[in-house]
Amino acid sequence: MTTTVSSDLRPDPPESPGDRSLAEFGYRQELHRSLGRYASFAAGFSFISVLTTVFQFFAFGYAFGGPVFFWAWPIVLAGQLLVAACFAELAARYPISGAIYQWSSRLSNATFGWFAGWIMVIGQIVVVAAAALALQMVLPAIWSGFQLVGSDPSPVSADGAANAAVLGVVLLVLTTIVNLVDNRVMSVINRVGVTAEIIGAVLIVVLLLTHSERSPGITFHTGTAAQSGLFGALLVGSFTAAYVMIGFDSAGEMSEETHNPRRTAPRTILTALGAAGLLGGLIVLGGLLAAPSLTDGHLGVDGLSYVLTSSLGDGVGRALLADVVVAIAVATLAIQTAACRMLFSMARDGQLPFARRLAKVNPRTGMPGAPALVVGVLAAALLLLNFASPEAFLAIGTTCIVMLYLAYAMVTGPLLVRRLRGGFTSDGTDETGARLFSLGRWGVPVNVLALLYGLFMTVNLAWPRAAVYDPAGGHWYFQWFTVLFLLVTVGAGGLWRLSVALRGRAATTAPVPEPAP
């Protein structure tokens, strides 16, 4: 893997331990290092964003799994904690932007790592689009005036899907502007938003649990929604938890902007996932217990928005939904920021088309501007699929999960190989002189389980279930959307890599012109 170092003549900023750590990998400090521990935690927590993702996918999980889909939550949380533990070790040893790409490349080889980064960044762009679509789940429930297209707010209706795209594009314009301004502005918005989200999530949990209509024993019932028994209900119901608990690696993505990243990032990766997993699970449980009815059909269509406004009253319910809107906006911003850092990291190594432009950092703001525009435009283009069919809402959501799960496995896999060969040790110290975060003797078993879990969930999520992806029938391309999108992503990446290799070979074999007599 090659690295490039900027040759501008700007004076270097004062060095910190993080700056010197970055220089060890052949890079200079260009992004502004201004994030503390809470800002690092906020980067991971806001990407996960329980209020965004639980509200967006609760109805889906209940529609296909019934109340028992709740038990998919602790299973997925346990699996993702295994992955996060592996990532925490890597964040301590490789505190570099473009975490998945950098980690995979350094554990395996440049080509394999490039594909991991390529799949990850395309997946992140799809996640940006999916997060922006979540506005449709809450804004029309707050005020009908937010239904700008048609009259049916359901995201699975033609009107709702089209309106979701419109609202999503507006949000992407705003988040792109913030990603162009300054990383300190982005950090302030993230921290304020995450604080508001945590407060709102705790309030929602308390209010739902104090307005319970039934006992927790209801979570052992599949209900009439589950069509394929308990195991099938858990497999499809796990989509909700899987969609929520991704993006905890964002603390690693922001390492070059974090003070003492070797010490900070591993801890914030684990705490962000742990906090989000606990709050999200309690919200799901509270929603099931406080719903006015489990059989009137609303829970599988309108989801938690219906529970809040019905059980808590319009005033309180809408106030809490307004907090969810803040969470969605901050989540979209955080995901777009993570995708920008991945593009920047790969471009800095000359590993993308238009690499020179994508790797340029504004010295005043400390932000790579071109990646923000690229991610914003491509995510907005994906939203246009919603105008084609309401099924695009689910296709976009599940596709992004599969892309990220596969990219994660492309890190845990090489990490396991390195462990088994004895090439991954716990040696080294962080910026404070303490030993680096390490799993010690638990490293191999945790890594094995993390890899197996990741591969199983990737297959489960990508499996082309007609009842899930094409319930109306007649849209085979939506049933196979995730598989096709992944094949196109890998194929396009392979073609670009091949073209680069051929150009390089042609340059080395071109005949040298004879000197003029």
Q: Do 25 and 94 meet the contact criterion of CB atoms below 8 Å apart?
A: yes
316/232: higher pLDDT: 316
388/433: higher pLDDT: 433
Q: Report the pLDDT value the prediction gives residue 425, as an integer from 0 to 100.
A: 76
Integer-rounded Cα Rg, in Å, for the chain is: 23
- pLDDT, tens only, 279-318: 999 999 999 999 998 888 888 888 888 898 888 888 888 8
Average pLDDT over residues 419-438: 86
Percent of the chain surpassing pLDDT 70: 92
Q: Is the pLDDT of residue 470 over 90?
A: no
Q: Report the pLDDT value the prediction gives residue 174, as an integer from 0 to 100.
A: 95
DSSP-assigned states of every residue in 424-491: -----B-TTSPBPP--GGGHHHHHHHHHHHHHHHHHHHHS--HHHH-TTSS-HHHHTHHHHHHHHHHH
Q: Do 284 and 70 meet the contact criterion of CB atoms below 8 Å apart?
A: yes
Q: Is 49 helix (H, G, I), strand (E, B) or coil?
A: coil
Q: Do 113 and 120 meet the contact criterion of CB atoms below 8 Å apart?
A: no
Least confident range from 130-134, 171-175, 271-275, 422-426: namely: 422-426
Least confident range from 373-382, 463-472, 505-514: namely: 505-514
* 248: its two tokens: 């905890």
- pLDDT, tens only, 140-168: 988 888 999 888 887 778 888 889 999 99
Q: Is the pLDDT of residue 12 over 50?
A: no
Least confident range from 18-22, 168-172, 209-213, 387-391: namely: 18-22
Q: Indicate yes or no: pTM above 0.85.
A: yes
116/26: higher pLDDT: 116
Q: Is the pLDDT of residue 421 over 70?
A: yes
User: What are the C-alpha distances in Å from 182 to residues 33, 179, 357, 363?
Assistant: 12, 7, 18, 10
Average pLDDT over residues 172-200: 91
User: What are the C-alpha distances in Å from 417 to residues 266, 412, 413, 423, 511?
Assistant: 21, 9, 7, 9, 43
DSSP-assigned states of every residue in 354-420: THHHHT---TTT---HHHHHHHHHHHHHHHTHHHH-THHHHHHHHHHHHHHHHHHHHHHHHHHHHHH
- pLDDT, tens only, 91-128: 999 999 999 999 999 999 999 999 999 999 999 999 99
The residue among 477, 463, 302, 462 whose CA lies nearest residue 388 is 477
Q: Is the pLDDT of residue 226 over 80?
A: no
- pLDDT, tens only, 329-368: 999 999 999 999 999 999 999 999 999 999 999 988 888 9
